[in-house]
Amino acid sequence: MRLVAPLLIVLAVGCAAEEPPPPVGPRIAFGRDFEGFTGWRAYPLPDESLTDGHLSSPSRTLYIDREPPPEGQPFELGTIVIKTIEEGPPSEWVVHAMVKRGGGYNPDGAVDWEFFDLHLEDDEQVAIAWRGTGDDGVLYFDPTTGDRLACNSCHAFGGELDYVFSRAVFYPAE
């Protein structure tokens, strides 16, 4: 009996040390994950930047929740990118977001990315207005042509940029 207890302790410690780290899986975002985004890294978007499906405005800002990847590299799993039009009080802002969800999500569009429209409440808490691939009935209107556009209508063509067209603002010309 004296040998059994020490042997069990050695086995338990040995098993715990050899256990692999938890697998990296899909990143499912919730409203709380977007809280405080106006305090994240902010990049003003030039008025002449890509606007199809997104209204043009001098008050457009791109926010990201972490250091952008080196130019030409993909975004990390879990990255949140938010594009805003900040006109009027926060409850009237237009707020679009993308989250690098991973797990093969959105395989026929912006692979691994989930799209969101967010709404800021009067107390500036973030509520998710809708989420998904953007192809499931949620459409934008191109203000110049009147065409109905889905998120993947444009983002699916940006694979070489990891589906984030505004990446140039992260790497200002030196």
Interstrand relation of 113-120 and 148-149 (parallel, antiparallel or unpaired): unpaired
Q: Which residues pair with 128 in a beta bridge?
A: 118
What pLDDT score does 53 carry? 47
Give SS3 for 165. Answer: helix
100, with CB counted inside 10 A (0-12, 13-18, 19+), is buried
Tell me the pLDDT of the chain averaged across its residues. Answer: 78
- What's the pLDDT tens digit per position in 126-148? 999 889 887 665 555 555 666 66
Q: How far apart are CA 119 and CA 116, in angstroms?
A: 10
- Threshold 0.75, pTM exceeds: yes
Q: How far apart are CA 59 and CA 147, in angstroms?
A: 23
In the chain, the amino acid numbered 151 is C
Q: Which two tokens stand for residue 136?
A: 């499931």
